[in-house]
Amino acid sequence: MFNEKEYAKRYYAKNKERIKGRSKIWRRNNPDQAKQAVNAWRKNNIERKRELNRLWAKNNPAAYKEWVKKNPYRIKANNVRYYSENSISHIIIQRVYEDNIKKYGTLTCYLCLKPILFGKDCIEHKIPYSRGGTNNYENLGVAHRSCNSKKHNKTHIEVLNNAKISR
């Protein structure tokens, strides 16, 4: 006996061409819906898509070279995005801290609104990095390290809404 997942996998393997043909026809008949579905999937699977792209480039070096030749601006855009995502500039961090102190009078956690003792602070992504958040000023706040780890991969809005419900 197979479990359902195994069964679906085998069914797919056996009927691959037929399923592929059917979705091809569906995509042809519903181009707008197909495009929307792809975009939605990409938006929800940013990391997965990147991983797939990396894998594809690794397994198809010649085709990747061709792609780079045809899309130099895409590479540049990707690199800019990569660097801006992976390093928060000192200037931005400084601004986030300064504005926090200006706003609250003392360094204060933007999540629980309590003051932060020296050394207990961290820079926090309002929309988590793992969910497509950026390292831009607008997406950053100062928070307790403990609040940051409690928040985990929720967005700040989800955290604040949760707090309202439990209050």
- Measure the CA angle with vertex 50, ends 49 and 52; round to 5°: 65
- Measure the CA angle with vertex 148, ends 144 and 154; round to 5°: 145
Please report whether residue 123 would count as binding Zn ion according to CB under 5 A: no
Q: Which residue is nearest to Zn ion (CB)?
A: 109
One character per residue 130-149, x = contact with Zn ion (rule: CB under 5 A): --------------x--x--
Q: How far apart are CA 151 and CA 92, in angstroms?
A: 22
Q: Which of 34, 93, 112, 127 binds Zn ion (CB under 5 A)?
A: 112
Distances (CA, A) of 39 to 61, 112, 127: 26, 35, 19
Number of residues located near Zn ion, criterion CB under 5 A: 5
| Side chain identity, residue 157 | I
Q: Please state the closest distance from residue 150 (CB atom) to Zn ion, in A.
A: 8
Q: Which DSSP letter does residue 15 get?
A: T
Q: Please state the closest distance from residue 127 (CB atom) to Zn ion, in A.
A: 18
Q: Of the two residues 88 and 144, which places its CB atom closer to Zn ion in the complex?
A: 144
Q: Which of 92, 96, 109, 140 binds Zn ion (CB under 5 A)?
A: 109
Q: Which positions touch Zn ion (CB under 5 A)?
A: 109, 111-112, 144, 147
